[in-house]
Amino acid sequence: MKKILMICHGNICRSPMAEFVMKDAVEKRGLSAEYQIDSAATSTEEIGNDIYPPAQSKLREKGIAFEHRGARQITRQDYADYDLLIGMDEANRRNITRMMGGDPDHKVYLLLDFTADPHPISDPWYNGDFETTYQEVQAGVAGLIKMLEK
């Protein structure tokens, strides 16, 4: 089983979007039983809060099923439990690595590292552009799945 944890600052926009886009993609390939996919935050700011309503709207618009959930913060145990910890931007990567006490097993990546155009996932909390974020998440998930299927 491949265990993937998607991570952003608050766990209400980008990381849950990545979680559910990835779940949808593996389900459509008939591979759901081969994956455990979740999401978390580096901060405590949104702990317990559900997916941000505009992110929910974007997922609905794109036909991506999601579950209501409460944001949670990553823990050191997550490093042991997951094969990959996937951040959305460089601040996430730095915080994940700091909170995990390093990355000795090389598990920490950014989602768009798995594409031909690695760059940070746009943060719609600040810019309101959920479409761009969704498109970047889709590209990152496609690249990640392609890498994992090799």
As annotated, the active-site residues are 8, 14, 123
pLDDT, residue 37, reads 98
Residue 98: its pLDDT value, please? Answer: 97
Mean pLDDT score, 87-95: 98
Task: Name the pTM for this structure.
Answer: 0.97
For residue 141, the model assigns a pLDDT of 98
Residue 112 has pLDDT above 90, yes or no: yes
**CA nearest neighbour of 65 among 22, 33, 34, 31:** 22
Q: What is the pLDDT of residue 76?
A: 96
C-alpha angle 110-113-116 in degrees, rounded to nearest 5? 155
CA dist., res. 108 & res. 93, Å (int): 7
Mean pLDDT computed over 75-103: 98
Are 88 and 123 in contact by the 8 Å Cβ rule? The answer is yes
Closest to 145 (Cα-Cα) out of 62, 33, 23: 23
Q: What is the per-residue pLDDT for 150?
A: 85
* Every domain of the chain and the residues it spans: 2-149
Q: At what angle do helices 14-28 and 53-61 cross, to 10 degrees?
A: 20
* Rounded mean pLDDT, 81-109: 98
| pLDDT of the residue at 50 | 98
> What is the residue-averaged pLDDT of the chain?
97
Q: What angle do CA 120, 125, 131 make, to 5 degrees?
A: 70
Cα of 108 vs its chain's centroid, Å: 12
The answer to whether residue 57 scores a pLDDT higher than 90 is yes
Any idea which fold 2-149 has?
Answer: Rossmann fold (3.40.50)
Q: What confidence tier does 67 reach under pLDDT thresholds 50, 70, 90? A: very high
